[in-house]
Amino acid sequence: MITSAQNAKLKLARSLLGRPKGRQAAEAFVVEGVRLLEEALAAGWPVQFIFYTSAVSERGQKLIKTAGAKGIETELVAEALLNSISETGTSQGLLAVLDYTPLPIPRALNFVLITDSIRDPGNLGTLLRSAGAAGVQAVLLPPETTDAFAPKVLRAGMGAHFRLPIQTLTWEQIGELTHSLKVYLADMQGSPCWQADFRQPLALIVGGEAEGATPEARALAGASVCIPMPGKAESLNAGVAGAVLMFEVVRQRSGAAEQV
């Protein structure tokens, strides 16, 4: 059992839960809880090691046995120690360090999400979760967007990270990847999204509602769309707006498929 706060693996996990530079330097990140570790193992994601406490649930115990059978190192840790580095309010007694190995971007793209200066972890995680549900092929993050593998983003993503290509790129790289796509920018001054043709191969740029689109995003976009709001709300947060637009793409494409 690990009982010292000076344990090298425990110190690594603590550093990975901090600033993005720590995760980038180690090329690793941390997931907490049964659900996220289940998703990672089901996807075959490389796991360096797993920490658990004596208080872990029966479901968590089964997961530890599964991981051990796959040759993944598991370590019992004193409950107070694991709780001291946990990012969650109520620890499930389970924490794992995973390799940073983002999924490759498909060669033939027709549905891409670009997050423009999304700095709120909850909004980014919600966008990733919705993107995974809507069948987005890849999520491209410009440098101004928060780290997609930060603890709060991972929790809000609910496992989307392990099924969806997510990569941080420069605007130049994003332009190269999307040059053959129609690029739509979500913007309050745009045309109603119901009138746009989302059946064609496209990239959708969604940004934070507070600061508006960056010049780079506007330069890349070929058209702007908005979500008509007959109520009195001034705007939707980025997570909700992005979900509405992504599922409008799904709706239009589903309708087109039914007509064939």
| Per-residue pLDDT reduced to its tens digit, 90-139 | 778 999 999 999 999 999 999 999 999 999 999 999 999 999 999 999 99
Q: Where in the chain is the domain with CATH 3.30.1330.30?
A: 8-99
Q: How far apart are CA 239 and CA 126, in angstroms?
A: 5
Strand order in the sheet with 223-226: 166-168, 138-141, 111-116, 202-207, 182-192, 223-226
- Model pTM score: 0.93
Region of residue 75 (phi > 0: left; psi between -120 and 50: alpha; otherwise: beta): beta
The rounded distance, in Å, linking the Cα atoms of 42 and 228 is: 39
Q: Could you tell me which CATH number the domain at 8-99 has?
A: 3.30.1330.30
**Residue range(s) in the chain whose domain bears CATH number 3.40.1280.10:** 111-259
28's CB contacts (< 8 A; 6+ apart) are 12, 16, 48, 97, 98, 99, 100
Per-residue pLDDT tens for 48-103? 999 999 999 999 999 999 999 999 999 999 999 999 998 887 778 999 999 999 99
Q: Which two tokens stand for residue 73?
A: 């190192």
Provide CATH code, domain 111-259.
3.40.1280.10
